[in-house]
Amino acid sequence: MTWIVDKKLSGRNINHCLNTMRVAVHYAIDREELNRDPFRNIKPADDTPKEKGILTFVERTKLINATPTDPRSKLAVLLGLLCGMRRGEVRGLQ
């Protein structure tokens, strides 16, 4: 935990690292390769998520009027704006 904090990571990234390590430890405990959880007394780091906000009318208009060279980019922007898709959903489109 001290090493992670010294890396100046955000609380969200610290918790993500801890949860990743916990999965492996719990797997080892289930297989009886470990007899106790070394993470049991480690509390999650403070995490203050940022407000992502909603685009204003002006911002949406600028995105709609933008003319990217790739028509797929334009389609992704329009689908995201007009269908209320999140960034991850738009990125996942194929």
Mean pLDDT by 10 residues, the chain (94 residues): 78 89 94 92 84 84 84 86 86 82
Distance of CA 84 to the CA centre of its chain: 18
Residue 58's pLDDT is 92
Nearest CA-CA partner of 37 in 46, 49, 25, 48: 25
Residue 56's pLDDT is 86
Residue 71's pLDDT is 87
- Residue 21 to residue 29: CA distance in whole angstroms: 12
Three-state DSSP class for residue 2: helix
Residue 52's pLDDT is 75
The answer on 43 and 61 residing in a single domain is no
The answer on 44 and 62 residing in a single domain is no
Residue 90's pLDDT is 86
The answer on 65 and 86 residing in a single domain is yes
The answer on 15 and 43 residing in a single domain is yes
Q: Work out how many domains the chain is built from and give that number.
A: 2
The answer on 2 and 34 residing in a single domain is yes
The answer on 11 and 39 residing in a single domain is yes
The answer on 44 and 61 residing in a single domain is no
Residue 9's pLDDT is 83
Query: Whole domain around residue 27: which residue ranges?
Result: 1-49
